[in-house]
C-alpha cells in the first residue's frame, strides 16, 4: 500500500496513520509550515544575504532606486553601467579570530548579491549618482530633458 500523497504545493507527504488518525511527523511539519518553510529551505540561507528588495519611484525629474542593505559600508557596493544595464553588486568576506589561554575561536562570514536593471533610453546615464545612509542604498537616475513632462500651453486661434 502506498503511504505517499502529493499536497496542493506539489510536495510529497506521508499519509495519515490509520491507527491514530494523526499525520506522520514529517507530513505534519510540512503541512504546518507549508510553502513558507519550503522557501526558507531553498533560499540563500547559508550562502550570504538573499537578493535585497528594491523600491523604484518615478518623479518628473528622475527615477530613484532604494535598496535596503543594512550593516555594510558604502565602499562594499559596486555599481556599473554597461549596454543600457545598471548593475548593483556587493561581496563581503569577514574573518573573526579570537584566541584565549584555553580556547581558540575562528568565525567566517560571507555576503553577496547582484541586481541588474534595464535603463530606458530617456535617462542621463552620465549623471547617475548613489548614496548610502542608514542602511539604504539610494540611486538617483535623472531623466533627459526631452523625457520630462512639458507644461501645457495655450494656442491662440488667429
pLDDT tens-digit series, residues 103-125: 787 787 888 899 999 999 999 99
Rounded to the nearest integer, the mean pLDDT of the chain is: 77
Task: For residue range 10-59, list pLDDT tens digits in order.
Answer: 555 544 455 555 555 555 555 555 544 444 443 333 445 678 899 999 99
Q: What is the percent of the chain with per-residue pLDDT over 90, rounded to a whole number?
A: 39
Q: DSSP states of 13-54 as a string?
A: EEPPPTTTSPPPHHHHHHHHHHHHHHHHHHSSTTSS--PPPE
Characterize the bridge pairing of strands 4-6 and 12-14. antiparallel
Distance CA(92)–CA(49), nearest Å, equals 10
**What does pTM read for this prediction?**
0.60
Distance CA(146)–CA(26), nearest Å, equals 60
1: which DSSP letter?
Answer: -
Please report the domains of the chain, with CATH numbers, ordered by start residue.
4-42 (no CATH), 54-147 (2.60.40.790)
Closest CA to 127 of 148, 138, 147, 141: 141
pLDDT category of residue 66 using cuts at 50, 70 and 90: very high
137's CB contacts (< 8 A; 6+ apart) are 66, 67, 69, 77, 88, 130, 131
State residue 152's pLDDT score. 87
Amino acid at each position: 500500500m502506498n503511504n505517499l500523497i502529493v499536497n496542493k504545493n506539489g510536495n510529497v507527504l506521508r499519509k495519515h496513520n490509520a491507527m491514530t488518525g494523526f499525520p506522520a511527523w514529517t507530513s505534519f511539519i510540512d503541512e504546518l509550515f507549508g510553502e513558507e518553510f519550503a522557501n526558507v529551505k531553498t533560499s540563500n540561507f547559508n550562502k550570504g544575504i538573499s537578493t535585497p528588495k528594491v523600491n523604484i519611484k518615478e518623479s518628473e525629474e528622475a527615477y530613484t532606486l532604494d535598496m535596503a542593505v543594512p550593516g555594510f559600508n558604502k565602499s562594499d557596493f559596486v555599481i556599473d553601467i554597461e549596454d543600457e544595464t545598471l548593475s548593483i553588486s556587493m561581496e563581503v568576506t569577514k574573518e573573526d579570530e579570537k584566541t584565549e589561554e584555553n580556547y581558540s575561536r575562528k568565525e567566517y562570514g560571507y555576503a553577496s548579491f547582484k541586481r541588474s536593471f534595464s535603463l530606458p533610453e530617456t535617462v542621463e546615464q552620465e549623471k547617475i549618482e548613489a548614496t548610502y545612509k542608514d542602511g539604504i542604498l539610494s540611486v538617483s537616475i535623472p531623466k533627459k530633458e526631452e523625457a520630462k513632462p512639458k507644461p501645457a500651453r495655450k494656442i491662440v486661434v488667429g
